[in-house]
A and B are shown apart, each in its own frame.
Chain A
C-alpha cells in the first residue's frame, strides 16, 4: 500500500493517471465489442485478449500507484478472468461477457467518481460476479476438442500473403534520422501483420527481427530498405507462429502477437506535441515581425529587390501555414473512439426500451481534433438517445408501417474540405411537425409549397425549455436536450442542421471545423479584469518590485539581466486604475533590444483555450485578438501583445 508520503508525492500525477486510464478504457471498450462475436465459442481471438489483459493490467498498476484501491481490485479481477480465458481454462460464455461489460462500466464509474471528488461507487457486485466466473472449473475435453475445428477469424490471411523476415539494426545514425524500432514496427504494421518481433545478435551487433505476414509484393517492400531494413521471404513458417495461431498460452509468443490496425499509429506524447505547437506559434510571430520590418524597408530598396523579398516572404508564409496545418493534424484522432462508445449506449437503451436497434457506423476512421473528442461526447449521446427513445418505433408499430422490426441508427462521419461532417440518423417515425404546428398555430413551419421549414423546426426544438413542455415533446418525439446539443456545437464553432420525413426518419447533421484555433494562454488580471495572452507571444514572466522602476524620458524602465527593459502598463493602455502597492508581474514580449515588459497586476495561470474570433465591427479594436471562455460563462478577452505595444506607443 502506498504510504501517506507517497500519496502526496504522487498527487501531481493524477492528471496523467486519468488520461492514461481513459486511453485504456477506450481500448477495453473497443476490444470488448470485438470479442462479442466469440461469445459461446471455444476460443477467443488471442490478439484481442492480450490487449484486454494488458489494459486491465496497466489499469491495475496505475490505480494502485495513486491509491485508488477499488479500481485496482476490480481491474485485478478482470485481468484474472481474462488470464483464465487466455489460457483456455474457461471459455467465453454470455454471462462472462456481460460481467466484463458490467465490470468495465463500474471501473469507469469508480475512476470518474474519483476524478470528480465524489464518493466511490460500490464495486462488490461487479467484483464478485467476475470472480465467481473466473473460479469456474476448467472445461476439459470439449473446449480442447473444438479448438482445432473452430476457425480462428482475423488471423486467416488471403492465400497470396506471404511471410517476410525483416531485420533492423538500430544505431545512432538511424536514431538521429528518427528511425527507431518503434517507427520501423509502425511502418511494418502498415504493410501487414507482425507475427513475431525479437532481438537477435547479427555479426556481433544487436538487431531486431520481425516476421511479417503481408500480401505486398517484393517491389512494394523495396521502399522500406531506405529506413535501414533488410528483408527477404521467410521460407518456412516458424514453429512459434503456429503456436500463436492456435491461440497458444506461452507468454512470450502471446505478447509477440500484439498487432492491430490501431497500432499503426505512432503514439505522440501530448506534451511534446504542445511544444511543437509553441515552436510553430513562435514562427508565426517572427513571420509577422519580418513582415513589419519588410514594409519599413519599402522606400529604401529597389523595386527589383522588393519584389524578390516579397516573393520569398509569400512562399515563407505558405510554408508556414502548411507546417502549422501539419502540426494541427497530428492532434487528430479517429472519431471511431466516440462512435464505439455509442455502441454501449445503444445496447443499454435497446434493453431499456425493449426495441431492437442496429447501430451502423461509417467513417469511423475520420479524424478530428483531440480537443473535439471529449466535447462531442455529450451532444452525440443526446442525439443517439433521442433517436432510440423517440425516433425509433416499437416493433409492432414498425411492422404495421411495413418496416423491418429492428430499428436502425446510423452514425456517419466524413471530411469535406476544411470541415468534418457527422451525421446521426434513424429510420424511425420522424418529427411530427404537423403536431407541433397544430399546437402552435402562430408558428410558420411550412413554406408556401407545404414543405417543412427544417431550420425553423430546428430552432424551435433547440429553444431552451422546449423539452420541458411535455405535450409538445411527446408529440414531437424530440427536444430532450436539443438546446444542450445546439450550444455545445456552437461552442465548437460548428453548426447543426436537420432533415426529417414523417414516417421515414430523422437526420441530424453536425458540421465542425476540422481544426479549432486552440492555444495555450496565460491568464492575468489588471484593474480587476481578467485577460488572456497567447503563451507563444510571451518569452518570460517576471516579477517586478515597484521600487526598482526608474523613469527615463517619461518612460518607465527596469534593469533586467543587465538590460534596460521598458515597461508598458496594461492599466495605462486600458485606462484602468494603477495597482498601488505590492509586487507587479510582467510578460516579457519581443526579444533582444525590442523586448518590452507588459505589466499586469497578477498572473493567474496557464490554460488551453479555444480562440473565438470577435467578428462584429463593434469589437474591431486594436490589441484585442479574440475572446475565450474558461467554463464559467464569463468571456475573457485575448490580447495581441504586439498590437498592444503599438497602441501604447501611439498614446
Chain B
C-alpha cells in the first residue's frame, strides 16, 4: 500500500448533477480530492495523467460504454488493483454479474443513498 496521504477519486458520469452529488456524498472522507470525467475516453485520459485511488463509474455514457472502460482499465497492469465502483441507473441492461465479471469492485444503482456510497467507498479505500 502506498503511503500517500491524499485520496484522489475519479468520478465518471455524463450527468453533471450526478457527478456533483457523488462528490458531495464522498466529501467527508479524509483528505479527498475529486477529478471528474464526463465520458469514457476522458476517464482513461485522467488515469494516464496521474494516479487515482478509486474510480466511481457510470455505465451508459457517450463515447464509450462503462463496461468497455472497465475492461480496458483492467487490462492495464497499473490499474489492476484500483477499486472501481460501478454506479449505474437501476433497470439498466448490464447486470451486476456482468459488471463484476468485467472487473467492478462494487455494483450500486442510482438512485443511491449517499450514506451507503460513503460507507462502501471508505471500506474499499482501507
Contacts and interface: CB of A to CB of B under 8 A. Distances in A.
Interface of A: 1-3, 5-6, 9-10, 12-13, 16-17, 19-20, 54, 57-58, 60-62, 64-65, 67, 76, 170-172, 175, 180-182, 185, 197-199, 201, 205-206, 208, 251-252, 255-256, 258, 267, 269
B76 A206 contact: yes
Nearest to B113: A6
B20 A206 contact: no
A20 B13 CA distance: 13
Given A9-B114, A256-B64, 4 more contacts: A65-B110, A170-B49, A199-B64, A251-B65
| Most chain A beta-carbon neighbours within 10 Å: one of B17, B21, B39, B76 | B17
Interface stretch (B4-12, B40-48, B100-108): B40-48
B60 interface: yes
A181 B45 contact: yes
Given A57-B60, A76-B91, A20 B15 contact: yes
A325 B102 CA distance: 49
B65 A10 contact: no
6 contacts: A58-B14, A65-B17, A197-B64, A199-B72, A205-B48, A251-B65
A255 B62 CA distance: 6
Contacts of B16: 16, 20, 269
A538 B62 CA distance: 41
Interface string B3-37: 00000000000111110110011000000000000
Contacts of A20: 15-17
Nearest to A172: B49
A64 B111 contact: yes
A61 B110 contact: yes
Given A20-B15, A62-B15, A185-B41, A6 B48 contact: no
A510 to B, nearest CB: 32
Contact of B62 (A181, A205, A258): A258
Contacts of B113: 2-3, 5-6
A170 B64 contact: no
Contacts of B42: 180-182
A61 B64 contact: no
Contacts of A201: 76
A335 to B, nearest CB: 23
Top-9 shortest CB links A-B: A16-B17, A64-B111, A61-B89, A170-B45, A181-B45, A181-B41, A2-B111, A20-B17, A65-B111
A639 B92 CA distance: 54
A64 B62 contact: no
B90 interface: yes
A175 B64 CA distance: 21
A197 B91 contact: no
Given A2-B111, A58-B14, A171 B65 contact: no
A171 B48 contact: yes
A255 B64 contact: yes
A14 to B, nearest CB: 9
A208 B110 CA distance: 30
B20 A199 contact: no
Contacts of B38: 182, 267
B110 to A, nearest CB: 5
A6 B114 contact: yes
Interface string B77-110: 0000000000001110100000000000000001
Contact of B111 (A6, A19, A256): A6
Contacts of A9: 24-25, 114
A65 B63 contact: no
Contacts of A6: 111-115
Contacts of B60: 54, 57
Contacts of B63: 185, 197, 255-256, 258
Contacts of A58: 14-15
A199 B44 contact: yes
A444 B16 CA distance: 57
A199 B41 contact: yes
B114 A252 contact: no
Contacts of A197: 41, 63-64
A255 B61 CA distance: 8
A62 B17 contact: yes
A13 B45 contact: no
Contacts of B24: 9, 12-13
A12 B90 CA distance: 23
Given A62-B15, A64-B90, A180-B45, A16 B111 contact: no
A208 B41 contact: yes
A404 B26 CA distance: 63
A198 B15 CA distance: 21
Contacts of B90: 64
A267 B62 CA distance: 14
A2 B20 CA distance: 16
Nearest to B94: A251
A2 B113 CA distance: 6
B67 to A, nearest CB: 8
A252 B68 contact: yes
A256 B91 CA distance: 22
B15 to A, nearest CB: 5
B12 to A, nearest CB: 13
Contacts of B47: 206
Contact of B15 (A61, A181, A255, A269): A61
A256 B90 CA distance: 23
Nearest to B87: A61
B91 A13 contact: no
Contacts of A258: 62-63
A171 B46 CA distance: 9
Contact of A54 (B62, B64, B76, B110): B62
Contacts of A54: 14, 60, 62
Contacts of A199: 41, 44, 64, 72
Given A1-B111, A9-B24, A182-B42, A175 B17 contact: no
Contacts of B91: 76
Given A62-B15, A64-B111, A206 B64 contact: no
Contact of A62 (B18, B45, B115): B18
Given A6-B113, A180-B42, A208-B41, A64 B89 contact: yes
A64 B17 contact: no
A232 B41 CA distance: 21
B89 A60 contact: yes
B48 to A, nearest CB: 5
A175 B37 CA distance: 14
